[in-house]
Chain A
Amino acid sequence: SQKIEQNSEALNIQEGKTATLTCNYTNYSPAYLQWYRQDPGRGPVFLLLIRENEKEKRKERLKVTFDTTLKQSLFHITASQPADSATYLCALLLNQAGTALIFGKGTTLSVSS
């Protein structure tokens, strides 16, 4: 069965540094991978989608890479700020019908000033 893992439960970094979060998956060849942000007590908010034929995607201070050979996506936040502190989730389509996503457990990022 499909499996998706986010290697770190928690990541603590200093303000201004680059945060790098990892998402690995097995037994699957997804058409795309998504990243979401979730704040405590709130719903997930979509950030970025990267397709299997894209190596890299950028949005402001965010950068996502997608290596289908390694079955891995990296999520980078450059020039991190305390406001970036949140849990970040990666997600894949669970089936080709597109009816469901499978989520990782998330990595909680804390940016200290």
Chain B
Amino acid sequence: NAGVMQNPRHLVRRRGQEARLRCSPMKGHSHVYWYRQLPEEGLKFMVYLQKENIIDESGMPKERFSAEFPKEGPSILRIQQVVRGDSAAYFCASSPAVQTVSGNTIYFGEGSWLTVV
């Protein structure tokens, strides 16, 4: 039973280019979360999606960032016109149901490390 799969694991982009990060949730999981971990910072929530719907994007920067989780295929986090400050580890997580106060566990992938040069 494969875990949460993220690719690429490492990505280098020049300033102004686009970065696309992909996440395939665990089998049977329809809830996907994206988190960002900046150097020397804690994990920060970005967005929560269910199939074909963005449920909570309160942590997404207002510009250049977008996310989708289509009916078929992986979830995509897209960063347009990257800047040096976007350099970070981006983690995807999945769960079979939303966390709620009952505490459904979420499972993280190994992350995608973006470096902007």
Q: A residues near B, CB below 8 A?
A: 31-32, 34, 41-46, 49, 51, 89, 91, 93-94, 96-106
Contact = CB atoms under 8 A, between A and B. Distances in A.
B30 to A, nearest CB: 14
A44 B109 CA distance: 8
Contacts of B44: 103
A98 B100 contact: yes
Interface of B: 4, 33, 35, 40-45, 48, 55-56, 58-59, 91, 93, 98-111, 113
Given A34-B103, A93-B99, A105-B42, A42 B56 contact: no
A103 B48 CA distance: 16
B98 A32 contact: no
Given A43-B91, A104-B42, A105-B41, A99 B109 contact: no
A8 B45 CA distance: 22
Contacts of B40: 105
Contact of B55 (A42, A96, A99): A99
